């Protein structure tokens, strides 16, 4: 049957009216929004943030959930303080700097609204060089071209600490680029950079991509350098052999814990539901990225250095992690 112009106008009017009717009544008042602040799309925060967003939309009634691309830790924490997100990924050292209001790290004041939800997995400091660059050790970075992550991102804060402990300054390098992971990799493929420092979970997509395109060296961060950093958030660890194509041996490095954080303005009930939904759907996170396999409920409170949100506290008491 042919659709007349009158029919089309009627359909258009119905469609235009639909959002108003859907948002009226008690259900509209109960609708809640969860914006998950992540990082760049080539990192680990983003796929995990997308997975969390999907979990929340499925498990929490009357919730609209999104995952936002950001410049990661420092930006995420500043956005939370401003109430422009409900949940965020961050590195432990950035979180500590935010809580103290460390201006050098990108925090102009103490971010006193931040509240912890859970520890997650460790980031590994992964310094990857083009095999043709001659870079084998940290000392070999002198006079070379290095990307250190987006300016004042968690990765860049890590870069500053590692280079300082190794006796290097940015001025010792031929060139410093402040770029996200994927853009750093593209410049390395085009031989416009010699190396990239990426603080991420093991098997990060950007380095996997790079390792299949060119021959790489994964540069060690020795345990004595990790000790010289002098921050308990940094622990000596290892990038296991064969994490990336061509990396045939274990490589010593530093690991830094990641946390999920919210702010005091988010309701206790919503944070409780987010925490419960995440730990009831860990397999979904594991499927999103292998790094998530380190997320275990029994480790949720490990290393938490800021106040726990009451909603998360309620969940952990319910499951016996807190008394």
pTM (whole model) above 0.95: no
Closest to 201 in 3D by CA, of 239, 247, 163: 239
In the chain, alpha helices (H) = 5-22, 26-30, 45-59, 73-81, 92-100, 154-165, 181-189, 205-213, 223-229, 268-279, 282-288, 310-318
How many Å is the Cα radius of gyration of the chain? Answer: 22
Q: Which CATH class is domain 31-121+258-318?
A: alpha beta
Same CATH topology for 31-121+258-318 and 123-257: the answer is yes
pLDDT in tens, 142-158: 999 999 998 888 899 99
pLDDT per residue as tens, the chain (323 positions) = 444 433 433 333 333 333 333 444 444 457 899 999 999 898 999 999 999 999 999 999 999 999 999 999 999 999 999 999 999 999 999 999 999 999 999 999 999 999 999 999 999 999 999 999 999 999 999 999 999 998 888 899 999 999 999 999 999 999 999 999 999 999 999 999 999 999 999 999 999 999 999 999 999 999 999 999 999 999 999 999 999 999 999 999 999 999 999 999 999 999 999 999 999 999 999 999 999 999 999 999 999 999 999 999 999 999 999 99
Buried/exposed code over 129-161 (b: 16+ C-beta within 10 A; e: otherwise) = bbeebebeebebbeebbbbbbbebbbbbbbbbb
pLDDT in tens, 193-252: 999 999 999 999 999 999 999 999 999 999 999 999 999 999 999 999 999 999 999 999
Superfamily of chain region 123-257? Periplasmic binding protein-like II (3.40.190.10)
Q: Domain extents for the chain?
A: 31-121+258-318, 123-257
């Amino acid at each position: 049957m042919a659709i007349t112009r009158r029919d089309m106008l009627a359909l258009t009017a119905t469609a235009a009216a639909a959002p108003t009717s859907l948002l009226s009544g008690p259900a509209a008042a109960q609708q809640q929004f969860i914006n998950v602040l992540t990082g760049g799309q080539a990192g680990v925060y983003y796929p995990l943030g997308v997975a969390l967003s999907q979990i929340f939309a499925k498990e929490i009634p009357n919730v609209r959930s999104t995952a936002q691309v950001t410049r990661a830790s420092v930006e995420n924490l500043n956005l939370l303080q401003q109430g422009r997100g409900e949940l965020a990924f961050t590195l432990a050292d950035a979180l500590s700097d935010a809580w103290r209001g460390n201006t050098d790290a990108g925090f102009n004041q103490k971010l006193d609204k931040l509240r912890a939800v859970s520890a997650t997995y460790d980031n590994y400091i992964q310094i990857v060089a083009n095999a043709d660059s001659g870079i084998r050790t940290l000392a070999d970075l002198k006079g070379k071209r290095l990307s250190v992550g987006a300016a004042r991102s968690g990765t860049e804060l890590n870069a500053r600490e590692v280079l300082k402990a190794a006796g290097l300054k940015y001025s010792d390098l031929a060139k410093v680029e402040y770029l996200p992971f994927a853009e750093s990799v593209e410049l390395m493929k085009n031989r416009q950079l010699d190396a990239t420092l990426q603080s991420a979970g093991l098997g990060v997509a950007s380095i996997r991509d790079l390792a299949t395109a060119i021959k790489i060296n994964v540069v060690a961060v020795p345990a004595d350098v990790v000790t010289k950093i002098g921050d308990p958030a940094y622990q000596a660890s290892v990038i296991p052999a064969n994490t990336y194509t061509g990396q045939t041996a274990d490589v010593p490095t530093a690991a830094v814990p990641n946390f999920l954080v919210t702010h005091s303005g988010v309701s206790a009930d919503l944070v409780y539901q987010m925490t419960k939904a995440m730990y009831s759907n860990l397999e979904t996170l594991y499927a999103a990225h292998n790094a998530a396999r380190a997320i275990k409920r029994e480790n949720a409170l490990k290393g938490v250095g800021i106040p726990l949100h009451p909603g998360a506290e309620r969940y952990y008491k319910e499951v016996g992690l807190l008394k």
